[in-house]
Structures are given as C-alpha cells and as structure tokens.
Amino acid sequence: MAGSAFALDPLPVRILNTRVFYLCPYSLYIQPSEAGSVTNGELRWGVEQRLEFIEFRLFWEGGVNRSDIIDMFNVSVPQASKDLTLYQERAPHNMVYDKSAKRYVASERFEPQFLNPDPDRYLSQLRLVSDGTLDRSHAWIGHFPAFDAVPSPARGLKADTLRAIISAINRAEAIEVKYQSLSRPEPKWRWVTPHAFGFDGFRWHTRAFCELDRMFKDFLLSRILKTRGTRPSEITPDADADWDELVTLEIGPHPDLPDTQKRVIELDYGMRGGKTKINVRSALLYYTLKRLGLDTDPSARRPEDQQIVLLNPQMLAPWRDGGEDEQ
C-alpha cells in the first residue's frame, strides 16, 4: 500500500454486524446452484463470489479449470461451466482455453474485473493455514508454495468464556467475570460491559466498561477465569471515547541510518517523502507503539535495530499518564 495510510486496527465493534471472512476465503459459504445468474442486471451474490474466485486463480496462479470451481463451492458441473461462460462474457479478454493443459489461462490482456489483487489477502491465507485456523481445502489458493510462520504460544482461553463475552456484546449486557490481574494477588469478581475485542498481535482482549473502577479497560480473555450471570446495562459503546477516537502516527526511517538503508526502510513500509502514516484507535495506541518498538527512546537501541522512529511524538502527550488496561 505504497504512499497510503494504513491502520493497525483489525477489529469490529459489534460481532453480529461483522463480515468475518475479510481475510478468509469466501469458500466457507457453500452456495447451491442458482436458477439464474443475473437478477435485474446484477449478479447474484454466490455467482459473483465464484467469478472472483476464477479471477483469483487466474491472477495468482495463472489458470483455472472447471473442477477448481466444483471442489471449492460444491456446485454441479453445469453450474461450473456456466460460471466460466459468464466470466468470459463479463471479461472477454482475460482468459483463453489451453487445450494441452485442459484449463483456462490468463491472457496477456488480463485486467481484474471482480478481484482487488491484495497481497495481504493472499499471504493472510498462508498464515491462517499455517496456524491451523483455516483448512487448506477452504483456501482459495490451489498450489501452495512452501511456507511457515513464527509460532506464538497458545493462550489458555476457554470456549465457554469467549462465548459468554460474545453473547454479552451482542445483547448489550453487563456480565460478571472472575478476573486475575497482575496488579492483584487474587482473582476478583467484577461486573463489566464489553463492547469490542482487541488484538495486539499476540493476545486478545475485550474492551469493556468496568463497574468496579468506573472506566473502560482492556481485559485479557485468557485471564477471565469464570463468568456468571448477566444483566441489562446502560453503558453504550459510544461512551468509550478512546475506542472511537483515531490517532495518526507518522513514522520514518531512523535519522542515524545511512541514506541507502533509509531507502530500504522506506520501501519496507511503503513510505513516500520519508514517512508514512498509521491510523490507530486511542484504545490500541499503547499496543501499537509497543509492537512497532516505538514505546522507548529511539536512542536506546542501535539504528539498525530500531529502524523506524515516531516523527510526531508530541501527539502522545495526552496519553503519557494514561493506562486503563487491567493487565
């Protein structure tokens, strides 16, 4: 995403209103054969997803055949043939049939019509398969390159706990949780009103209003030992100002790096003019700074290790004395 702002905020506020397949392939939806592919000039949703899949395979792997569509979407042979025909009608210059390979291949005039060729989406599928979140058969990738990912320790999170928090969010209720924090020797029961989830790259937490401390805090899901009972809550998500407020961080190469290394860092982060911007929720600011190594004085590390610095540190002033996380 060269030259554009990007955000370290992967999370929805509401679960029910969230499309959970942003990073996951649409193949998890099994579509029946449609009686008609087009209604009032618009493609049916299932058909459009299959056309996008065709284009995904053409763009990333150079070709696609009928069996690919059948295996991925569990449609009939006639339906898969119909999808390929429809794609040719909608994008007549994008693919040609290779008789020797017995598949359609991308032509030299290929231009995506249904797919936004996003490298992050492709690589995210590799990551999801690597950590076991996504089965290979559900990925849109047909031919997997060799890949692996740096492992993260598994968190001691109980399914019943997560389900209870999700239910409380969806019902806009308060829930009583037994929470073990680092600041207290013993776990303590407290009422919280959760409204969102946050992820710092390693750990998941719920963003919730704590009735004990009368403020919004972050509660690590793995430290919620038990839940019991719910009740109506008057706390609404829009009361969490730090969740709604976005902060813009400007980062650039470490000033003490040689110019040649600065250009490498600029390339890594898609910088233009020696900087790029990151939009992050105030509630996730602490985690973002820590993840990027911007939470300490840049002079404390070698420039080659630090690599990037915060160009607008003055914007951190309102949060320097903060810390509303119940760690």
- The pLDDT assigned to 1 comes to 38
How many whole angstroms separate alpha carbon 67 and alpha carbon 270? 38
Backbone angles phi, psi at 282, to 5 degrees: -55, -35
- On average, the pLDDT of the chain sits at 86
Q: Are 254 and 303 in contact, with CB atoms under 8 Å apart?
A: yes
222, pLDDT greater than 90? yes
Q: Across 14-18, 112-116, 156-160, which has the greatest mean pLDDT? A: 112-116
Per-residue DSSP letter, 275: B
Cα separations in angstroms, 161 against 75, 88, 205, 272, 281:
37, 49, 12, 44, 25
Backbone angle region of 3, left / alpha / beta, with phi > 0 → left and psi within -120 to 50 → alpha: left
Residue-wise pLDDT tens digits, 158-216: 999 999 999 999 999 999 999 999 888 999 999 999 999 999 988 999 999 999 999 99
Confidence of residue 305 (pLDDT cuts 50, 70, 90): very high
Residue 325: pLDDT band (50, 70, 90) is: low
What is the pLDDT, as a whole number, of residue 327?
53
Tell me what the mean pLDDT of segment 29-46 comes to: 51
Predicted TM-score (pTM) of the model is: 0.75
Which carries the bigger pLDDT value, residue 95 or residue 12? Answer: 95
- Give the rounded percent of residues in the chain with a pLDDT score beyond 90: 74
Q: Looking at the predicted structure, is the pLDDT value of residue 62 above 50? A: yes
Give the SS3 label for residue 270: coil
The pLDDT of 63-80, averaged and rounded, is 96
Instruction: Supply the pLDDT for residue 84.
Output: 97
Q: Residue 222 in contact with residue 156, Cβ under 8 Å?
A: yes
The pLDDT score that the predictor gives to residue 298 is 86
* pLDDT (tens digit per residue) in 125-152: 999 999 888 999 999 999 999 998 888 8
- Is pLDDT of 39 > 50? no
Per-residue pLDDT at 320: 54
**Higher per-residue confidence, 323 vs 96:** 96
Cα–Cα dist 168/119, whole Å: 35
What residue ranges define each of the domains in the chain, with the CATH number in brackets? Answer: 22-118 (1.10.10.10), 159-241 (2.30.30), 245-326 (no CATH)
Count other Cβ atoms within 10 Å, centred on residue 305: 10
Whole-number pLDDT of residue 154: 79
pLDDT bin (cut points 50, 70, 90) of residue 268 is very high
